Structure 1
């Protein structure tokens, strides 16, 4: 299962991902983004934390304006395209 880093303020998304069985970690600093398959952030903090420029091995998902289900769908679409 994919390991997903989620910005701390996005608790509803973290909970929904855990319910789906994903391994979820809170993104507290830029280095956290390097150990996950996906980073879920709000637009405001992604640049502040340097995540968009970080050498994260996965994709950065911009969650602003998206529901938890929409974020999960985006992650699952990206996973399916990688396989």
Structure 2
């Protein structure tokens, strides 16, 4: 399943790979967090850009240490 994915700015290699595979990719910010199927971040310990009051039903994927291919596999498993 392809979906809309918000990607943290520093993950340009993952962003490009997802776009090539047909995912709709958006920048991770306050406006996109509520309207995406998944959020890709570099680490879960940084409190999502200090936005603790934002609620989202999106899948959160910590891309720290993962290749673009591993992130895509995680998305395919979670967005069924």
TM-score (norm 2): 0.84
Is the 8 Å Cα contact of residues 4 and 36 (structure 2) preserved in structure 1?
Answer: yes
User: Which residue matches 1:23?
Assistant: 24
CA distance in structure 2 between the partners assigned to 1:43 and 1:59 by the alignment: 14
Is the 8 Å Cα contact of residues 37 and 59 (structure 1) preserved in structure 2?
Answer: yes
TM-score (norm 1): 0.82
Equivalenced residue count is 79
| Higher RCO (CA < 8 A, seq sep 6+) | 2
CA-atom RMSD, angstroms? 2.1
Q: Which has the higher helix share?
A: 1
Which consecutive aligned stretches of 4+ in structure 1 deviate over 6 angstroms post-superposition? none
**Which structure 2 segments of 5+ residues have no match?**
none
